[in-house]
Amino acid sequence: METNGTKQAWQCRRCGHAGERLSGPPWPGAEGERIAAAVCSACWGEWLERQTMIINEGRLSVRKPEHRQRLLEEMKVFFDLETAD
């Protein structure tokens, strides 16, 4: 890994690895931008599995704004997005 210079290698916020980045924001709005900037595609895949469980357990619909909001809160906890860098 390249260590010279001041530019640090990108690391996934969740797993800490320099994994494959997401190709774009996977969620609308500012949260999607933050997720795309913070986590690797493998961790996003883990979240999608978790999200499916949450949807099934809570009988949520992503079409309902209040359910989307709940998923967003779970997502923020999953990726630790509330913590300042």
Q: Which residue ranges make up the site for Zn ion (CB under 5 A)?
A: 12, 14-15, 19, 40, 43
DSSP 67: H
Nearer to Zn ion, 20 or 64 (CB): 20
In the bound state, the residue with its beta carbon closest to Zn ion is: 12
Report the Cα 69 to chain-centroid distance in Å: 15
Alpha helices, H only, 1-85: 29-38, 41-58, 65-78
Nearer to Zn ion, 20 or 73 (CB): 20
Nearer to Zn ion, 71 or 79 (CB): 79
